Amino acid sequence: MIQGSEKIHKTFELVRKKRFNLKQGFFLSLIRAFGFSGALTLFVILFFVVYNGIGILSWEFITQPPIEAMTKGGIFPVIVGTVLLTAICMIIVIPIGVTTAIFLSEYSKPGLLHNMVMMSIYTLAGVPSVVFGLFGLAVFVVAFNFGMSLLAGSLTLAIMVLPYIISTSEEAIKSVPYSFREASLACGATKWQTIRKMVLPTAMPGILTGIILGTAKVSGETAPIMFTAAAFFTPGIPRSLFEPVMALPYHIYVLATAGTHIEETRPIQYGTALTLIVLVLGMNLLGIILRSRQRKKKAW
Amino acid sequence: MVENNNIFEIKGFSIFYGDFMAVKNIMLNIQASKITAIIGPSGCGKSTLLRSLNRMNDLIVTSRVEGQVIFHGVDIYYKDTDVIELRRRVGMVFQKPNPFPSSVYENVAYGPKIRGIKKKSQLDEIVENALVRADLWKEVKDKLNESGLSLSGGQMQRLCIARSLAQEPEVLLFDEPTSALDPISTAHIENLLQELQKTVTIVIVTHNMQQAARISEYTAFMYLGEMIEFGDTDTIFVNPHNKLTEEYITGRFG
């Protein structure tokens, strides 16, 4: 009798297994298809931009200013503008962001202030970038009287990317094990020495990754600089913080929508897009490499 | 017991976590240059008591203490106590080996560097000394620049001991230092502790009664936050006065 029931049980198991596999196979293919479509989209976009833009890319294109109403020539001032905007933005945002992260993860105790700061950061991270643009226009351009300028644009970008820098840095600092801090304190280190000599060096790869990805994000933004810094055309590179600049994302927008020679400038539009993509992908790649190296090193 | 040989005098000492009384009214003297073991079942407050000796419990926000811990005639819980100096003189080695994710050299040089020693030759000397005392020098002298995390578990724990020894502490507190190690590494560390007690006072919390019996001079038995019995290790293990101690040591509970 026992044998009999076992047999029946086994037969059931076989049938169930087969049906389960079919179902599993179906969903697995579905998931694969969706996953693949994500990668495919990226490659189609990349191919599209590279195919159209590679023809115009040359040493002259990236080192010469535009000429003849921007229908010919290069995009040198545009690249310089984006690099300057991004660099100044990062110089402003890194000290503030990392310091805030240290405060939040090491010093602030759970309570009203902590919750308020956290809430603000989460909310800021969800605000659309064009709103930051309008804010920059109202505050930096008009109220502070910076005008449409490199400084106003960099400050606006800094405010936009600040929550991202804070949250990635905070995460990196929090991932440093408690046992390290304990050991450091037991060695007779003060809290600040522990943070400076032990926590920050250990968290540095994570903080750097956040900074690099933040830089990539900033360099591709259009809306925040549209009303605060970006110029339709400037004859050369800016000589002071209070001059407007050209920038890659805005340049694409301008050539593709606002120019008088939209068709003629197509190759330049694609070339500019390709330059921007190479810049952003390059930085993302650096971030990915850093992150994977940090994961390998992480032995605790 | 000679009175002036006590390095720690714990008097009427209690520790609270919020409303919970983790350590209750402890009286205990710890003798200089000896190994004192604290044993007892999990949750009896022995680690809490150990961590109060260099005020590592301060890190837990809700903790508070009553009573006194006298170290060299000074109550370490007096409000003007220099906690940093206390922790330098009373070092601590933790249950799980926790070297920093930096080189062997940097691990040992961490404390001296924090104290402001910058001269390379002086640091080299301190590092070598500490590693020799921790019986690790022979194994790592050719890989001082390799990561401390690349060592074996037992070596890592000895590296942590060397890191503490680099401060020239008077007392070393060990919080179950071998519970994460294999028997051979454990034996190695036990031998090391017996060697170290010639120069450093050692207080060790352990789950392992044989370990306490093997290496310590004095043993304290704690149960539910109270000090049940304290005395010579031989007396405690061979002829305990208290029935609870006897039951614990013979393995009837724990």
Binary contact (A180, B96; C-beta < 8 A): no
- The count of structural domains within chain A is 2
Lowest mean pLDDT among A30-34, A286-290, B100-104, B173-177: A286-290
User: How near does any CA of chain B get to the CA of A166, in Å?
Assistant: 24
User: How near does any CA of chain A get to the CA of B214, in Å?
Assistant: 27
Binary contact (A188, B149; C-beta < 8 A): no
The confidence band for B78, taking pLDDT boundaries of 50, 70 and 90, is: confident
Its CATH architecture, for the domain B3-249, is 3-Layer(aba) Sandwich (3.40)
**Calpha distance A184→A191 (Å, rounded):** 9
What φ, ψ does residue B77 adopt, rounded to 5°?
A: -95, 5
Same domain, A251 and A234: yes
B99 within 8 A of B67, measured Cβ to Cβ: no
User: How near does any CA of chain B get to the CA of A170, in Å?
Assistant: 19
Distance (Å) of CA B106 to CA A47, A192, A299, B71, B123:
49, 19, 17, 30, 10
Binary contact (A300, B147; C-beta < 8 A): no
Binary contact (A299, B110; C-beta < 8 A): no
Same domain, A18 and A159: no
Binary contact (B94, A184; C-beta < 8 A): no
Same domain, A29 and A67: no
Chain A: residue whose CA lies nearest to B53? A186
pLDDT of residue A159: 94
Same domain, A39 and A121: no
**Calpha distance B225→B47 (Å, rounded):** 10
Same domain, A245 and A293: yes
Same domain, A16 and A148: no
Task: Label residue B187 left, alpha or beta by phi (over 0 means left) and psi (-120 to 50 means alpha).
Answer: alpha
Binary contact (A182, B59; C-beta < 8 A): yes
β-partners of residue B64 are: B16
Which of B 139-168 lie inside 8 A of A, CB atoms? 147, 149-150, 160, 163-164, 167
Which residues, given as ranges, of chain A have pLDDT below 50? 1-2
User: How near does any CA of chain A get to the CA of B91, in Å?
Assistant: 6
Query: Which chain A residues touch B96 with a CB distance below 8 Å?
Result: 179
Binary contact (A198, B163; C-beta < 8 A): no
User: How near does any CA of chain B get to the CA of A190, in Å?
Assistant: 7
Binary contact (A193, B114; C-beta < 8 A): yes
Same domain, A160 and A22: no
Same domain, A5 and A153: no
Record the tokens describing residue A299, joined without a space.
């032995």
User: How near does any CA of chain B get to the CA of A52, in Å?
Assistant: 48
Q: Does B101 touch chain A (CB under 8 A)?
A: yes
Q: What pLDDT digit, counting tens, does each position of A240-250 carry?
A: 888 888 888 88
Averaged pLDDT, B128-152: 92
Q: What pLDDT digit, counting tens, does each position of B53-66 carry?
A: 999 988 887 888 99
Same domain, A166 and A272: yes
pLDDT of residue B184: 92
Same domain, A22 and A48: yes
Q: Which structural domain range is residue A40 located in?
A: 1-53
Averaged pLDDT, B248-252: 83
Same domain, A106 and A46: no
Chain A: residue whose CA lies nearest to B90? A186
pLDDT of residue A1: 46
Same domain, A15 and A66: no
Binary contact (B100, A198; C-beta < 8 A): yes
In chain B, where the domains are located: 3-249
Q: Does B2 touch chain A (CB under 8 A)?
A: no
- For residue A85, the domain's CATH number is 1.10.3720.10
β-partners of residue A168 are: none
The confidence band for B2, taking pLDDT boundaries of 50, 70 and 90, is: very low
Nearest to A297 among B101, B110, B113 (CB): B101
